[in-house]
């Protein structure tokens, strides 16, 4: 079994990561389109954007919109995730892309926030709709200092009208703390691990 952190760097080096991204986008939109036709509940789906796309924003946005129109997807159900690292190294290009997608009613998320770069400095300039807190902020033994840091980050994000997502949530203690502090969405093994499409569709039916 090859996990993403094993094969994605290889695809990034060879340039094949672009082909993989578009493949994932099209497969996702095709699935959403089929779900619409079958009258199933449609939920927002987050999709990663590889850094290489910021070398040609126009080409990327045109291809994305072509796929969205082809499969008649409601743009509001699409969320593109851009890592903090990518943003820091491509601020102008990322903001250009965000402005375009906002005009199309597509939301943008900053992934891996707090992963070691100038996060606080970046906060004043970001146009993102939501911020996903890096899982390294959370641990099984979340310290009091760690809780204080998260509380202050949440306070800043809420004041700048950003939706907050925390990843790497694995314990009831984390869930209780994050919910109490106003985290909007929680992601992690406490709820579910990665699953097949069939298992996911079954889950959606059960929780509908």
pLDDT tens by residue, 143-196:
888 899 899 999 989 998 999 999 999 999 999 999 999 999 999 999 999 899
pLDDT greater at residue 15 or residue 75:
75
What's the rounded mean pLDDT across residues 193-203? 91
Phi, psi of 104 (to 5 degrees): -95, 5
Model confidence band, residue 206 (pLDDT cutoffs 50, 70, 90): confident
Selection from 138, 185, 137, 136 nearest residue 163 by Cα: 185
In which residue are the tokens 């990663």 written?
48
Whole-number CA gyration radius for the chain: 18
Q: Is the dihedral of CA 117, 16, 128, 180 positive or negative?
A: negative
Matching CATH number, 1-114, of 3.40.30.10, 3.40.50.300, 3.50.50.60, 3.20.20.450: 3.20.20.450
Model confidence band, residue 119 (pLDDT cutoffs 50, 70, 90): low
Burial profile 175-199: b = 16 or more Cβ within 10 angstroms, e = fewer: bebbeebebbebbbeeeeeeeeeee
Return the pLDDT at 3.
84
What's the rounded mean pLDDT across residues 53-61? 94
Domain ranges of the chain: 1-114, 129-208
Model confidence band, residue 89 (pLDDT cutoffs 50, 70, 90): confident
In which residue are the tokens 């820091």 written?
88
Selection from 124, 141, 123 nearest residue 133 by Cα: 123
Query: Do the Cβ atoms of 100 and 68 come closer than 8 Å?
Result: no
């Amino acid at each position: 079994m090859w996990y993403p952190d094993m094969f994605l760097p290889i695809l990034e080096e060879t340039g094949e990561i672009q082909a993989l991204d578009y493949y994932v986008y099209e497969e996702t939109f095709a699935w959403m389109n089929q779900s619409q036709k079958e009258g199933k509940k449609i939920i927002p789906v987050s999709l990663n954007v590889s850094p290489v796309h910021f070398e040609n924003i126009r080409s990327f946005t045109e291809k994305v919109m072509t796929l969205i129109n082809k499969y008649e997807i409601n743009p509001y159900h699409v969320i593109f995730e851009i890592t903090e690292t990518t943003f820091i190294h491509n601020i102008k290009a990322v903001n250009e892309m965000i402005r375009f997608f906002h005009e199309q009613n597509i939301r943008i998320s900053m992934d891996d926030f707090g992963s070691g770069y100038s996060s606080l400095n970046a906060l004043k300039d970001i146009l993102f709709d939501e911020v996903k807190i890096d899982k390294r902020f959370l641990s099984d033994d979340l310290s009091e200092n760690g809780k204080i840091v998260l509380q202050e980050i949440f306070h800043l994000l809420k004041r700048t009208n950003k939706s907050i997502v925390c990843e790497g949530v694995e314990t009831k203690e984390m869930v209780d703390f994050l919910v109490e502090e106003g985290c909007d969405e929680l992601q992690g093994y406490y709820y579910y691990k990665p699953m097949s499409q069939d298992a996911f569709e079954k889950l959606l039916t059960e929780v509908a």
